[in-house]
Amino acid sequence: MRAARSTSECSWSATIAPVNLDDFDYQLPEQLIAQFPRPSRRDARLLRVDAGDVSFRDLVIGDFPSLLRPGDVLVMNDTRVIPARLFAHKTTGGAVEILIERVLTTQRALAHVRASKAPREGAILSIDGGGQLFVAGRQDDLFILECTADGDLESLMARSGHVPLPPYIDRADESSDLERYQTVYAHVPGAVAAPTAGLHFDQAMLDDIAASGVDLAHLTLHVGSATFRPIRGPLHQHVMHAEQIRLDEDVCRKINHARRSGGRVVAVGTTVARALESAAQHGLPLAPYEGETRLFIRPGFDFQVVDALLTNFHLPRSTLLMLVSTFAGHARVLAAYAHAVAKQYRFFSYGDAMWLERPTAFSDHLHPVANAHGN
């Protein structure tokens, strides 16, 4: 498997045209932020955004298979959300909230730690529910935490961890979140946020899609907590958080076959789109790939692999909204968001979805004529 070099070093990154972050803002009534999943995964609504003129169709997720064609390949992210939120106390009695960002070894992790006063190196954090973590040091704004004695992180999180619901879900996690904040095909533990476009599928729908002549394929991108953070500074200063990705021989073979035979590559979610386009930075046809990506997809980027995208609605002023706007056109996507607000769609992780196709050509004031490679 080909090792990944940092995509932040790829030649296209220096040629991205400047854009105004305010162009990726929109007004969202608070009541449209979904706090709970719908009763059934299939109950979500689906906004179809046509690739031609700016026009929309209000569908439901049950209509999604009809948007696919025999010969397409549907690519999904099989990462599994870990119970990464822990509550603890310092030896002084002060309360601490821990969010595991990345598991490094069976006993060591990088984590966000929130407390009235940041714990010092060498501090012991006693986990509510049992177990202890030792503060071994810092790495930028993250803490390096280690299990004490003979403990291991998997057992500690299984015993005392909570589902790391996004910050805009204003409630404590419940037992039902253990299932619903997880795709039915989640397989590889490591994410602290769900690849939410995949939450709408049940196994019966996936079986029907496969039976219709559409190939199903999986890759892994472990979603980090920074996926929820809006961009706060100038775009040229924004550094994407690193996420681990892996594409094996099977997904590469299916994608390359679809591209050769005229089928479309359909990405389930922005995490899949980002993983595929990261791998494509190292050449086509796709080859097995494993490593970190910091790929920042914004106007000027030239998509090489993804033809269609199923995605939930994203936060204002976020890198994910910028990605979908780059994919389908800024004006088209912002008009779709305005339509979704007017039609009372549900937003964000437990919300509804939209279907986007990559236009063969479009005019958009934020999409310069020169592509992201400077050609």
| Same domain for 234 and 93 | no
Does a structural domain hold residue 322?
yes
Residue 289, both tokens: 């790939």
- State residue 32's pLDDT score: 98
Q: Which of 81-90, 193-202, 245-254, 360-369 has the lowest mean pLDDT?
A: 360-369
| Same domain for 183 and 141 | no
| Same domain for 98 and 36 | no
Q: What is the CATH number of the domain that holds 246?
A: 3.40.1780.10
pTM of the entire predicted model? 0.90
Residues 126/92, Cβ–Cβ less than 8 Å? no
- State residue 371's pLDDT score: 33
Cβ atoms within 10 Å of 273's Cβ, excluding its own: 31
Does a structural domain hold residue 370?
no
| Same domain for 208 and 143 | no
Residue 150, both tokens: 């003979």
Cα 46 to its chain centre, rounded Å, is 18
Per-residue pLDDT reduced to its tens digit, 339-358: 999 999 999 999 999 999 99
Is the predicted pLDDT of residue 312 greater than 80, yes or no? yes
73-77, strands of its sheet edge to edge: 2-3, 289-293, 243-247, 215-221, 73-77, 265-268, 308-312, 353-357, 45-49, 56-60
- State residue 231's pLDDT score: 81
Residues 360/327, Cβ–Cβ less than 8 Å? no
Does a structural domain hold residue 371?
no
Residue 239, both tokens: 């550094």
Residues 143/113, Cβ–Cβ less than 8 Å? yes
Residue of 105, 203, 117, 192 whose CA lies nearest to 145: 105
Domain total in the chain: 2
- State residue 29's pLDDT score: 98
- State residue 2's pLDDT score: 52
Does a structural domain hold residue 368?
no
∠ CA(279), CA(283), CA(287), 5° rounding? 60
Phi, psi dihedral angles at 228 (to 5 degrees): -90, -5
Q: What is the CATH number of the domain that holds 131?
A: 2.40.10.240
| Same domain for 337 and 227 | yes
Does a structural domain hold residue 30?
yes
Is the predicted pLDDT of residue 36 greater than 50, yes or no? yes
Q: What is the mean pLDDT of the chain?
A: 90
| Same domain for 236 and 126 | no
∠ CA(94), CA(96), CA(98), 5° rounding? 165
SS3 7: helix
Buried b (16+ CB within 10 A) or exposed e, 112-123: bbebeeebeeeb
Residue of 252, 251, 268 whose CA lies nearest to 307: 268
Give 279's pLDDT tier (boundaries 50, 70, 90): very high
SS3 77: strand
Does a structural domain hold residue 165?
no
| Same domain for 331 and 200 | yes
Residue of 126, 133, 123, 82 whose CA lies nearest to 103: 82
| Spatial distance between the Cα atoms of 340 and 216, rounded to a whole number of angstroms | 29
| Spatial distance between the Cα atoms of 181 and 223, rounded to a whole number of angstroms | 13
Per-residue pLDDT reduced to its tens digit, 257-278: 999 999 999 999 999 999 999 9
| Same domain for 203 and 73 | yes
Type of residue numbered 100: I
Task: Judge residue 85's burial from the number of C-beta atoms within 10 Å of its C-beta, 0-12 exposed, 13-18 middle, 19 or more buried.
Answer: buried
Quick one: the chain helix, strand, coil %, rounded to 5? 30, 25, 45
Does a structural domain hold residue 166?
no
- State residue 239's pLDDT score: 84
Domain that holds residue 201: 2-81+178-357
Of the three residues 160, 187, 204, the one that is the final residue of a domain is: 160
Torsion of CA 145, 190, 168, 47, to 10 degrees: 170
The CA-atom distances, in angstroms, between 180 and each of 61, 76, 108, 226, 241 are 16, 17, 28, 21, 26
